[in-house]
Structure 1
Amino acid sequence: MWMTDPGCHNTVIRAWESNPDGLPMYRTTKKLKKCKKMLKKWSKAHFGYVTRKIKKIKELLWKAEEDLVRTGDIQEVVRLKSELNLLIDREEQMWHQRSHVKWVQSGDQNTKFFHNTVTQRKRRNFIRGVRDEGGVWQNNEEVFSTLFTDYYTRLFTSSSPQELD
């Protein structure tokens, strides 16, 4: 999420511009610590409280849409919608990253989180049925398994090896 914002790059550059005294490894450690501190501060100021900001922008958008009806000025509505979309994208990235971190931490440790994740993935990947060549919905597993097998058998037996490349 941070990498999508140019402020991250600028913050890292400012942190690495410092020139502490000492041996190279000591200087590197000091720069890393300064970078961490500056990124935390920048993140809190720039990305912190995304959910609260979304709520506030929605309220402002509601008022701007009411004003639009009276005044006909659409610029503020467009600006707020654009800002709201940006914040929603950030929130989505944040939750995606948090779920990945949670997965890395919990992983396959026979936890409730792991079982919920696997169950959700199984539901999402489960094929309930397919349409056959006649357009009829087939939800019998044996029937649509045969349809898949026949389709790929025909595909690979009728194609020359050069066509598959």
Structure 2
Amino acid sequence: MKLWTASSSIGQGLWQNISDIEGQLDFLLEIEERYWRQRSRAEWLWVGDKNTSFFHKKALARRVGIIMWGLFDVDGNWKKSNMDMEAVVIQYFSNLFDSSNPTQ
């Protein structure tokens, strides 16, 4: 109720000033928001390529590290051809699932 009384006693000119100031504030806030958006994009352009190459190198190193160069079969022989490694894997899992004690 007090707010209504206070607002009704404020003159039309003062309301116009408040409205103008709010409009200016909105405009300045929009400019500030644009500034920060442009700055973040400029920073990404400057640093973004460095990050991309960094992560690309990390992914490549990880991919190279994941390559299996060979496997040992049940007799301890090193198998490095794709067909031999496939046979080792098939034999291992066949033994695992056919076993009555699958913890080995």
Q: Shorter-normalised TM-score: what interval?
A: 0.3 to 0.5
Asked which structure has the greater RCO (Cα within 8 Å, sep 6+), the reply is 1
Structure exhibiting the larger radius of gyration computed from Cα positions: 2
TM-score by length of 1: 0.28
